[in-house]
Amino acid sequence: MNKKILLIRLSSLGDIIHTIPLANSLKSGGYEITWIVSEKGYDIIKNNPCVDKAILAPVELWKKRGFCIENIKDYLKIVKQIRNEHFDIAIDVQMRFKSFYWMVFCGAKRKIISRQAREFSILGGNEIIPAITCSCETPVVKDYMKYADYLGINTDEIKVTLPERSDKIKAKVDEYLKNIKKPLVVIAPATTWVPKHWNKDHWKEVVHAIKSECTIVFTGGPGDNELISYIGGNEFLNLAGKTNILELAEIFSRADIVLAPDSGSAHLAWATQKPTVITIFTCTPLKYLAPIGDKNKYIAVIGNLPCQPCFKRNCILNTNACTEFPKPEEIINIVNKLLSNSKNVV
């Protein structure tokens, strides 16, 4: 019987995607993998070939409810489910207080965590490996693979997987994209951190410059419609708020190019392994978070300010100067070159 691993990575979407190669590596090493994840990533982990089981921890629901008896009952029910699995190993990839209590009560014999863990979460482990991120120079995907290295598993292959999309999802996307006749460029301009947002006038300039050479589709959440309306002038298909995460993955898998800031959308597009992904970085570290692989397919761009990358949610200079870079001409040139190359492919 294979040994059983509980993988703890609750959020966020991008970080969950960055952990999928670790899960695939652990599974290829002969382990049975169960992953506990929040609502943000549950749909891309449930039925993902990287795991044998997915357990939903409804963190967002618990936050919405506040402290109440229903939350305690939910939590105890999940703890009982986890303890009944009799895990041999638990790995805390979240390394925060919200993962600490899962480690403490999971019942695993070996509880592995990195020395860099924050918010007292290191106290949940009984095996402490060296800090997996000593700088922002190594891709985060490869940093997470150090947990597999610690267990003696070969980590040469970086394998990212997503669940198979249903016929219903494919039919819905077919309908959305039925009038596509030119190369498809999907733009997902929004993200959660304000300093990660690229200047909206730069987006507008890019859209104006490339629109005659391709079909542009916008994606995002329901709260992104105002930004998208400003950028695109309601001239293009806007699917913001109209797709769930698997539908969004299917749209990305049909695209030729995806343009996005450092965001869950950029990483989801990378996970489909289909489009060229152009990721625009402002305050976050490119070398650490950029999609990895073929440099001609996964293109990351950042400015050259002395303060970049600060990796802060709020600009330490109160200027958000990094959101002005790169300049739109740089992105326009990259997109036009890619579109030109696609025309020359026989």
This prediction's pTM: 0.95
Cβ atoms of 208 and 231 within 8 Å: the answer is no
Contacts of 187 (CB under 8 A, 6+ apart): 203, 207, 216, 217, 218, 219, 231, 232, 258, 259, 260
**Category of 133 on φ-ψ map: left (φ > 0), alpha (ψ -120 to 50) or beta:** beta
What gap in Å lies between CA 46 and CA 61, rounded to an integer?
Answer: 18
Summarize pLDDT for 204-235 with one digit per residue, the tens.
Answer: 999 999 999 999 999 999 999 999 999 999 99
Looking at residue 264, what is its pLDDT?
A: 97
Domain 167-344 CATH (choose: 3.40.50.2000, 3.50.50.60, 3.20.20.70, 3.40.50.970): 3.40.50.2000
> How many C-beta atoms lie closer than 10 Å to residue 166's C-beta?
13
6, 21, 134, 273 from 155: Cα distances, Å: 19, 9, 19, 19
Kindly report the backbone phi and psi dihedral angles of residue 277, in degrees, each rounded to the nearest multiple of 5, phi listed first: -115, 120
Cβ atoms of 82 and 102 within 8 Å: the answer is yes
Cβ atoms of 112 and 89 within 8 Å: the answer is yes
Cβ atoms of 277 and 299 within 8 Å: the answer is yes
Looking at residue 346, what is its pLDDT?
A: 43
Looking at residue 1, what is its pLDDT?
A: 66
* β-bridge partners, 258: 186, 277
Nearest to 321 by CA among 191, 192, 199: 199
Looking at residue 342, what is its pLDDT?
A: 75
Domain positions in the chain: 4-150, 167-344
For the four alpha carbons of 255, 256, 261 and 262, in that order, the dihedral sign comes to: positive
Low-confidence residues in the chain, pLDDT < 70 = 1, 134-135, 343-346
Tell me the chain's radius of gyration from C-alpha atoms: 21
CATH architecture of 4-150: 3-Layer(aba) Sandwich (3.40)
What gap in Å lies between CA 338 and CA 294, rounded to an integer?
Answer: 14
Looking at residue 156, what is its pLDDT?
A: 93
Contacts of 82 (CB under 8 A, 6+ apart): 6, 34, 36, 55, 102, 105, 106, 107
What gap in Å lies between CA 92 and CA 111, rounded to an integer?
Answer: 8
Order across the sheet with 237-238: list the strands. Answer: 237-238, 215-218, 184-187, 257-261, 276-281, 298-302
- The answer to whether domain 4-150 and domain 167-344 are alike in fold is yes
